[in-house]
Amino acid sequence: MKKILLITGEDFEDLEVFYSIYRLKEEGFSVIVASYKDMLTGKHGYSLKVDKNFNEIDPSEFNALVLPGGRAPERVRLHREAIDIVKHFVLENKPIAAICHGPQLLISAQAVKGRRMTSYYGIKDDLIAAGAEWIDSEVVVDGNLVTSRYPNDLPSWMKKFIELLKQ
């Protein structure tokens, strides 16, 4: 069974986190949620129990990474352990799905230069400044990287990510 790591933090986008978890579990994948605290609250008030703290994660045990958005990525990127985990997935060319503000973690990991990506419009300039080619599209697949803009794109985003995981 493939193990998927989902990294998030306080004020996560509720739909992006829970939709990802349930879709991946429906496909038979194991999903582990990692963060900097044991219990999180999303932007819309939903609670999420965290499986492991960042310092308990061995990224080599995981097949893929999910980076949902909301305000969480700007909080998560302050934790060096989280950025080191993201860098592992980038360097090992493992599948990565990022949506909304999730690509902020890829910027902090210095992993967007030369990549074709999309994101929430509010971080478009950040991605471009970091060297990405930003595309306003429901979903953009660039090798091992699958990106989308916001919750309305969730079905297309997870569909492409699951296709990548099953290759």
Catalytic residues: 100-101
CB atoms within 10 A of CB 104: 25
DSSP bridge pairs for 35 = 53
DSSP bridge pairs for 67 = 98
DSSP character at residue 43? T
Collect all residues with Cβ–Cβ distance below 8 Å to 148 and sequence separation of at least 6. Answer: 98, 99, 100, 118, 138, 139, 140, 154, 156, 157
Contact 101, 69 (CB under 8 A): yes
CA-to-CA dists, residue 136 to 94, 119, 165, angstroms? 24, 8, 24
CA-to-CA dists, residue 111 to 9, 27, 63, 68, 166, angstroms? 20, 28, 18, 16, 24
DSSP bridge pairs for 133 = 116
